[in-house]
Amino acid sequence: MAAASRAVTLPAVVEELLSEMAAAVRESARVPDEHLLLLKFVFGSSALQALDLVDRQSITLISSPSGRHVYQVLGSSGKTYTCLASCHYCSCPAFAFSVLRKSDSLLCKHLLAVYLSQVMGTCQQLSVSDKQLTDILLMKKNQEA
């Protein structure tokens, strides 16, 4: 599964790493240790958390007959977060805080998990109707438990 083109790109080193990982996966169906190390270097603890999300098949690519698509990630807390496919946006609080407000991180672990699952070709797939996709994109906030 080729990486979706993004209107807003990651820094060149990250883009390069992701495409090298994709090439390695195509060749040998696994990610070399050097790539994992580099991932950890760039993303810190988010890298391990993201890889864990990928391992647990927590990422779902949701598409509708229109061709539009979006990702949902089942977080470790059991909450589902919605990530846009075309640019960096995640509905999780860490994105709002670490990425947007403090500019500490490039990505939250959910977005990183989405990109990793694209590279590694492991992603659940779900088809919904056009109307249901609208609702998912609207990210209607659920009642807090």
Partner 1 sequence: MAETLKRVLSPGRAAGPREDMAAEVGPPLLLLGGPGSGKTALLFAAALEAAGEGRGPVLFLTRRPLQSLPRRTPAALDPLRLQKIRFQYPPSTHDLLQLLCSAHEARGPAPFLLLLDGLEEYLAEDPEPQEAAYLAALLLDTAAHFSHQVGPGRGCGLLVALQTQEEGDSGDPLQLSLLQRYFPAQCWLQPVAPGSGQRCFRACLEPGGLGPRAEWRVAFQPDGEMTITPWPTQAGDPSSNQGPSSGGQP
The first and second tokens of residue 101, run together, are: 């407000």
**Nearest C-alpha neighbor of 10 from the set 130, 99, 131:** 99
Least distance (Å) between residue 117 CB and partner 1 = 18
Reported as type and span, the H/E element at residue 15 is helix 12-28
Reported as type and span, the H/E element at residue 110 is helix 109-120
The first and second tokens of residue 118, run together, are: 């694209």
Closer to partner 1 by CB, 13 or 37: give it.
Answer: 13
Least distance (Å) between residue 36 CB and partner 1 = 27
Closer to partner 1 by CB, 46 or 64: give it.
Answer: 64
Residues that bind partner 1 (CB under 8 A): 5, 7-8, 64, 66-68, 70, 84-89, 91, 95-96, 100-101, 130-131, 133-135, 137-139
**Nearest C-alpha neighbor of 105 from the set 66, 143, 61, 49:** 49
Closer to partner 1 by CB, 24 or 85: give it.
Answer: 85
Closer to partner 1 by CB, 51 or 108: give it.
Answer: 108
Least distance (Å) between residue 67 CB and partner 1 = 6
Least distance (Å) between residue 6 CB and partner 1 = 8
- Contact residues for 76 (Cβ-Cβ < 8 A; gap 6+): 49, 52, 53
Number of CB atoms found within 10 A of residue 63's CB: 15
Closer to partner 1 by CB, 39 or 69: give it.
Answer: 69
Least distance (Å) between residue 35 CB and partner 1 = 26
